């Protein structure tokens, strides 16, 4: 990037944030993201402080013909936040949060992480569905849909979005909501990375104080029995209860199968609802207890540290069959890295009641989402860990749905998997809207929806 081009941003368009090249202090830190496998070097990093900065960065990219990437929290598995030899638009300095407890709403900027957002809303005993790792950014999770512990009671993250302030590919500032630019609002909730850069999110909040949450741990050899029991137990359980099955290893490396349970409602009723689950086995360890919502949201943080190496394969699942349980147990027993996990996220309640045509986010009918989350430390082990995830995923295919969740897709998945994330009909509608809002496909370093 030539210095005159950088200077033009500052002088002509009033860019107020830091502009970093490879020779600047802070450049390497700014280009590092959660997934340590990502090691790309942008030509320039524009660290935005205001929506006007975002507009200026887009104008620069268009003027210079640069590819752009967009960083919010930097937690996406693909590392799409960082481009090679292009312009990285870094929103991580945009940290504003405003909570209106009377209206039960919050406005947050795109650099906010879920831990920061939850801390601000919990000051008023309010919350909305958010990520299950506190160092996940609000932006990427929301724009891709957003699964979380409160989705049974309050829907997906995108179901709780009231409006979005967006900078388009033309550098225009728009508000997308149920009343303004409604087609853009439809598209942004589920496929948002393709349509613009959000400079603020307005969320609906819900009353929430303590939750009853934690983990039940069992020996790995009881996995099939536990999954069969869990499938029956879930029938008729209330929306307040969210569960996740996890194949994992203890810190000492002991193979385990776990159930993470979060009950967001009356504590006494939660104790009653969870009693049959806690009796089963019995578990090796029962870690369920009343705790702040912020504690639940950071419960698995230590198991997914920033900078380690990650690879992910996923599908939605309609039923936890014995065949799938056996495939996943066998796969877990063959993990090359003891840090890896296989997770089955329960999907029920309010997230399934929202009409499918309400927004781009799709696939509300499944009962679970399967994520094969490979996690290791050293580059020398890349091949064996990636091969393991692909093998388990392949063996699981006869037992899963052929559709996917955009936020859990890896960088090596092509357009057919992107189409599967939205369904064929919605994908074609999104292509038409892409042609309207981004005909040159400026926002293409993502699970791309090409303009029609």
CB 282 within 8 A of CB 114: no
CB 436 within 8 A of CB 194: no
List all residues 6 or more positions away from 413 whose beta carbon is below 8 Å from its beta carbon: 404, 447
Residues 396, 318: Cα–Cα separation, whole Å: 13
For the sheet containing 87-90, what is the strand order?
19-20, 44-47, 87-90, 68-71
Structure tokens of 294?
């912020």
**pTM of structure:** 0.96
Confidence (pLDDT) at 7: 64
Which residue in this structure is represented by tokens 């996990």? Answer: 341
List all residues 6 or more positions away from 79 whose beta carbon is below 8 Å from its beta carbon: 33, 35, 37, 38, 40, 411
Confidence (pLDDT) at 12: 76
Residues 142, 95: Cα–Cα separation, whole Å: 16
Confidence (pLDDT) at 9: 67
User: What interhelical angle do 267-279 and 223-233 show, nearest 10?
Assistant: 140
Tens place of pLDDT per residue across the chain (452 aa) = 445 667 666 667 789 999 999 999 999 999 999 999 999 999 999 999 999 999 999 999 999 999 999 999 999 999 999 999 999 999 999 999 999 999 999 999 999 999 999 999 999 999 999 999 999 999 999 999 999 999 999 999 999 999 999 999 999 999 999 999 999 999 999 999 999 999 999 999 999 999 999 999 999 999 999 999 999 999 989 999 999 999 999 999 999 999 999 999 999 999 999 999 999 999 999 999 999 999 999 999 999 999 999 999 999 999 999 999 999 999 999 999 999 999 999 999 999 999 999 999 999 998 999 999 999 999 999 999 999 999 999 999 999 999 999 999 999 999 999 999 999 999 999 999 999 999 999 999 999 999 99
List Cα–Cα distances, 109 to 77, 137, 235, 283, 336, in angstroms: 21, 10, 39, 42, 39
Structure tokens of 342?
């296989």
CB 381 within 8 A of CB 400: no
CB 220 within 8 A of CB 257: yes
Confidence (pLDDT) at 1: 43
DSSP string, 166-190: EE-TTS-EEEEESSSSHHHHHHHHH
**Could you tell me which of 13, 44, 55 has the C-alpha nearest to residue 168?**
55
Q: Which residue intervals of 48-203 are DSSP H helices? A: 51-64, 114-122, 138-143, 151-154, 182-191
Backbone angles phi, psi at 134, to 5 degrees: -70, -20
Residues 136, 12: Cα–Cα separation, whole Å: 34
């Amino acid at each position: 990037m030539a210095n005159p081009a950088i200077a033009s941003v500052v002088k002509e368009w009033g860019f107020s944030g830091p502009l970093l090249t490879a020779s600047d202090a802070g450049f390497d830190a700014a280009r590092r993201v959660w997934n340590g496998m990502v090691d790309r070097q942008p030509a320039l990093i524009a660290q935005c402080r205001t929506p006007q900065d975002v507009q200026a960065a887009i104008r620069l990219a268009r003027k210079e013909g640069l590819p752009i990437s967009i960083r919010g929290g930097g937690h996406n598995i693909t590392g799409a936040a960082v481009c090679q030899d292009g312009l990285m638009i870094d929103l991580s300095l945009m940290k504003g949060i405003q909570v209106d407890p009377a209206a039960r709403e919050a406005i947050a900027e795109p650099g906010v992480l879920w831990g920061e957002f939850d801390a601000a809303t919990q000051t008023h005993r309010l919350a909305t569905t958010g990520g299950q790792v506190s160092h996940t950014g609000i932006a990427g999770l929301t724009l891709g849909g957003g699964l979380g512990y409160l989705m049974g009671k309050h829907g997906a993250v995108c179901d709780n979005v009231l409006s979005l302030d967006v900078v388009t590919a033309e550098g225009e500032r728009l508000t997308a909501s149920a009343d303004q630019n409604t087609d853009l609002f439809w598209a942004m909730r589920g496929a948002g990375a393709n349509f613009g850069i959000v400079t603020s999110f307005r969320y609906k909040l819900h009353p929430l104080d303590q939750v009853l949450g934690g983990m039940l741990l069992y020996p790995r050899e009881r996995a099939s029995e536990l999954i069969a029991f869990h499938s029956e137990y879930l029938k008729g359980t209330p929306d307040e209860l969210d569960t996740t099955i996890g194949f994992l290893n203890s810190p000492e490396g002991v193979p385990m199968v776990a159930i993470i349970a979060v009950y967001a409602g009356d504590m006494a009723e939660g104790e009653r609802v969870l009693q049959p689950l806690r009796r089963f086995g019995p578990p090796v360890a029962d870690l369920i207890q009343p705790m702040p919502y912020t504690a639940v949201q950071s419960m698995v943080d230590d198991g997914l540290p920033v900078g380690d190496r990650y690879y992910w394969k996923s599908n939605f699942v309609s039923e936890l069959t014995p065949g799938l349980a056996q495939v996943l147990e066998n796969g877990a027993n063959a993990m090359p890295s003891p840090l890896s996990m296989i997770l089955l996220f329960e999907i029920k309640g309010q997230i399934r009641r929202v009409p499918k045509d309400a927004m781009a986010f799709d696939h509300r009918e499944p009962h679970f989402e399967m994520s094969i989350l490979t996690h290791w430390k050293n580059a020398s082990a890349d091949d064996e860990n990636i091969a393991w995830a692909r093998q388990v995923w392949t063996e699981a295919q006869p037992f899963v749905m052929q559709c996917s969740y955009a936020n859990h897709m890896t960088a090596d998945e092509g357009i057919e998997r992107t189409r599967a994330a939205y369904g064929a009909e919605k994908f074609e509608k999104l292509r038409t809207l892409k042609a309207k809002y981004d005909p040159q496909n400026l926002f293409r370093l993502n699970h791309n929806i090409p303009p029609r």
